[in-house]
Amino acid sequence: MNTEHASAGTDPITTARTDLVAAFQSIQTAQRQGASNTDLLPLIIQLNTALQYEENATALQQQDPTDPTATAYALQSINLSTNVSLQAQRLGDEAQSASLRRSVIAYGLALTAATVAALGVVGAPRLIRFIQKNRLRRARIVYGEDNPAR
Partner 1 sequence: MEKIILQDKLVVFLILLVSFAAIFSSATFYALSPRASQPLMAMGIYSRTGLLGYTVPATNSSVTSGDRLNWTLSVTNDMGSAQFVMIIARMANSTFPSSNSSTPSTFPEIVAPERFVGDGETSNIGFNWALQSVTPQSGGRLLLNLDVEGKPVVITGDSFRWIFELWTYDLVCGCFHYGYGPQNGSTGVWLQVWFNPSG
The answer to whether the beta carbons of residues 98 and 81 sit under 8 Å apart is no
Nearer to partner 1, 102 or 142 (CB): 102
Which range touches partner 1 (CB under 8 A), out of 31-39, 70-78, 89-97, 134-142? 31-39
Selected from 9, 19, 24, 78, the binder of partner 1 by CB under 8 A is 24
Output the CA–CA distances (angstroms, integers) from residue 61 to 17, 43, 105, in the order listed.
14, 27, 55
73 near partner 1 (CB under 8 A): no
2 near partner 1 (CB under 8 A): yes
122 near partner 1 (CB under 8 A): yes
Nearer to partner 1, 105 or 131 (CB): 105
Total Cβ atoms within 10 A of residue 100: 11
62 near partner 1 (CB under 8 A): no
C-alpha 91/C-alpha 94 separation (Å) is: 5
The answer to whether the beta carbons of residues 33 and 99 sit under 8 Å apart is yes
Give me the amino acid identity at 46. Answer: Q
User: How many residues are present in the chain?
Assistant: 150
53 near partner 1 (CB under 8 A): no
Selected from 10, 14, 15, 31, the binder of partner 1 by CB under 8 A is 31
124 near partner 1 (CB under 8 A): no
C-alpha 127/C-alpha 117 separation (Å) is: 14
Nearer to partner 1, 55 or 94 (CB): 55
Which residues lie closer than 8 Å to 130 by C-beta, 6 or more apart? Answer: none
Point out which residues bind partner 1 (CB under 8 A).
1-6, 21, 24-25, 27-28, 31-32, 37, 40-41, 44, 47-48, 51, 55, 102-103, 106-107, 109-111, 113-115, 117-119, 121-122
